[in-house]
C-alpha cells in the first residue's frame, strides 16, 4: 500500500481492482500509514503560504478545499466501517485563530500554550494508552510526568518524546521551513525514523531542515519565548526569517521581490499589540524597503 493509491481511493479515482485492494488493506488492524496519510493532508490544509519571490499562488483556495475533501472522505469511511473496525479513530483539533495566546490544559494535566494561528490535533483516546499530539505552528509545553505514557509531539518528520518537562516547538518561524525544538527544563529525545535520535539538555535547541542532519545549538530564552511575553524579538535576524515569523504571528503573507533582501540582518523588539502596518513601516524605514499591500492579507516588498 502507498499514499498515492490512498489518495486516488479517497478522491474516488480508483479502478475497481484498485478499490478492492485498498478496502482489503483498510480492513486490517494496521492503520499507521493511514494515520500518517491523514496527518499529512491535515498539515497541508493548515500550512501557511511559503514566501516565494514574485510567485502569486492563487490556487491555494482550491487546493485546500480538495485536501479538506479528502480528509472528510477518510472520516466518513471510518464512521461507516464499524463492522470491521469496532473503534474508529477520531480526532480533536485545538486551533488558535485569535490574536492572543491561548492556554489549553489536556486531560492528563499537561499545559499547552498555543501561539496565534497555530493548531494541535490529537486522537480522542488521548491519555488512555498514549499521549500524542501533532503540532502545526508554535507551542510551549509544560508536561505532566507519566512514566507509563510518554508524551509525544509530532512535527513534520520529527517526533519529540518526553516524560515530564518544559519545551517550545516552532514549525513556521524560519524561511527555510526548519523546525526548532528548544528545551527549557528536563530532558527530551527528538527522533526521525531511520535517521537520528538526539537527546537535548536544558538550554539546547535542535534545528532541523528536512533532508539534512539536525544542528544542536544553545539559545536565549528571550529569542525563543518572546511570543509568550507578547513581544516579537529579533537579534541579528535575517530579514527573510523575520518576515516569516511576522507571517506566523499575524496570519498574513509577505512576498519578497528580491531574495537578496532576505539576507539583511535586523535587531529590535516590537510589542505584539503593534499593528502589522506599523511594524512593516519600521522595517521598511531601517532597510529602505517599501511594503505594498496587495490584498487584505498579502504584502509585497520593493527595494527603493
Can you give the pLDDT at residue 27?
53
Q: What is the pLDDT of residues 225-240, one digit of tens each?
A: 999 999 999 999 999 9
Where in the sequence is the domain holding 203, given as residue range(s)? 91-219
Can you give the pLDDT at residue 48?
47
Residue finishing a domain among 89, 112, 146: 89
Q: Angle between the 3-10 and 32-46 helix axes, to the nearest 10 degrees?
A: 70
Same-domain status, 115 and 173: yes
- CATH code at 207? 2.60.120.1440
Can you give the pLDDT at residue 132?
92
Residue finishing a domain among 158, 188, 219: 219
Can you give the pLDDT at residue 190?
94
Can you give the pLDDT at residue 64?
44
Three cell numbers written together for 62: 482550491
- Alpha-carbon distances, residue 288 vs 2, 116, 154, 283 (angstroms): 50, 29, 40, 8
Same-domain status, 96 and 215: yes
Same-domain status, 162 and 81: no
- Has residue 225 been placed in a domain? no
Residue finishing a domain among 158, 186, 219: 219
Can you give the pLDDT at residue 147?
85
Query: What is the number of other CB atoms lying within 10 angstroms of the CB of residue 143?
Result: 24
Same-domain status, 290 and 264: yes
Same-domain status, 107 and 191: yes
Same-domain status, 270 and 293: yes
Q: What is the pLDDT of residues 50-88, one digit of tens each?
A: 433 333 333 333 344 444 444 445 554 444 444 444 344
Q: CB–CB of 219/184 below 8 Å?
A: no
As for how many domains the chain has, the answer is: 3
Three cell numbers written together for 9: 481511493
Same-domain status, 33 and 127: no
- Has residue 57 been placed in a domain? yes
Same-domain status, 264 and 215: no
Can you give the pLDDT at residue 11?
55
Residue position matching grid coordinates 483498510: 26
- Has residue 190 been placed in a domain? yes
Can you give the pLDDT at residue 256?
85
Beta strand segments in 158-240, E: 158-162, 166-170, 179-185, 188-192, 196-200, 204-208, 215-218, 231-238
Beta bridge partners of 159: 154, 191
Residue position matching grid coordinates 535520535: 197
- Has residue 192 been placed in a domain? yes
Q: State the DSSP H helix or E strand holding residue 88, giving kind and residue range, or none if neither.
A: none
11 contact partners, CB below 8 Å, separation of at least 6: 69, 70, 73
- Has residue 134 been placed in a domain? yes
Same-domain status, 97 and 122: yes
* Strands 298-303 vs 253-255: parallel, antiparallel or unpaired: parallel
Can you give the pLDDT at residue 204?
95
- Has residue 68 been placed in a domain? yes
Same-domain status, 96 and 78: no
Same-domain status, 157 and 107: yes
- Has residue 166 been placed in a domain? yes
How far apart CA 204 and CA 190 sit, in angstroms, is 12
Low-confidence ranges of the chain (pLDDT < 50): 29-30, 45, 47-72, 76-88
Can you give the pLDDT at residue 81?
44
pTM: 0.70
Three cell numbers written together for 121: 490535533
Can you give the pLDDT at residue 59?
31
Can you give the pLDDT at residue 261?
85
Amino acid at each position: 500500500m502507498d499514499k498515492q493509491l490512498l489518495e486516488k481511493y479517497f478522491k474516488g479515482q480508483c479502478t475497481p481492482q484498485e478499490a478492492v485492494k485498498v478496502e482489503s488493506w483498510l480492513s486490517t488492524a494496521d492503520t499507521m500509514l493511514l494515520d500518517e496519510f491523514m496527518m499529512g493532508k491535515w498539515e497541508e490544509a493548515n500550512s501557511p503560504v511559503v514566501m516565494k519571490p514574485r510567485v502569486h499562488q492563487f490556487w491555494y483556495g482550491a487546493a485546500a478545499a480538495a485536501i479538506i475533501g479528502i480528509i472528510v472522505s477518510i472520516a466518513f469511511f471510518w464512521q461507516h466501517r464499524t463492522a470491521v473496525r469496532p473503534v474508529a479513530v477520531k480526532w480533536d483539533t485545538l486551533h488558535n485563530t485569535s490574536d492572543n495566546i491561548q492556554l489549553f490544559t489536556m486531560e492528563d494535566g499537561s499545559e499547552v500554550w498555543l501561539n496565534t494561528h497555530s493548531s494541535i490535533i490529537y486522537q480522542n483516546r488521548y491519555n488512555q494508552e498514549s499521549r500524542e499530539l501533532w503540532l502545526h505552528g508554535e507551542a510551549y509545553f509544560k508536561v505532566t510526568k507519566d512514566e507509563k505514557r510518554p508524551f509525544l509531539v509530532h512535527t513534520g518528520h520529527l517526533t519529540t518524546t518526553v516524560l515530564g518537562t518544559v519545551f517550545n516547538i516552532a514549525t513556521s518561524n524560519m524561511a527555510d521551513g526548519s523546525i526548532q525544538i528548544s528545551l527549557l527544563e528536563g530532558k527530551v529525545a527528538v527522533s526521525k525514523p531511520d535517521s537520528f535520535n538526539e537527546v537535548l539538555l536544558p538550554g539546547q535547541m535542535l534545528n532541523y531542515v528536512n533532508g539534512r542532519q539536525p544542528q544542536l545549538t544553545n539559545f536565549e530564552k528571550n529569542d525563543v519565548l518572546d511570543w509568550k511575553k507578547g513581544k516579537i524579538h529579533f537579534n541579528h535576524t535575517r530579514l527573510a526569517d523575520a518576515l516569516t515569523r511576522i507571517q506566523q504571528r499575524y496570519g498574513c503573507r509577505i512576498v519578497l521581490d528580491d531574495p537578496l533582501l532576505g539576507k539583511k540582518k535586523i535587531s529590535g523588539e516590537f510589542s505584539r499589540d503593534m499593528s502589522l502596518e506599523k511594524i512593516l513601516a519600521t522595517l521598511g524605514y531601517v532597510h529602505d524597503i517599501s511594503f505594498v499591500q496587495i490584498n487584505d492579507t498579502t504584502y509585497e516588498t520593493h527595494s527603493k
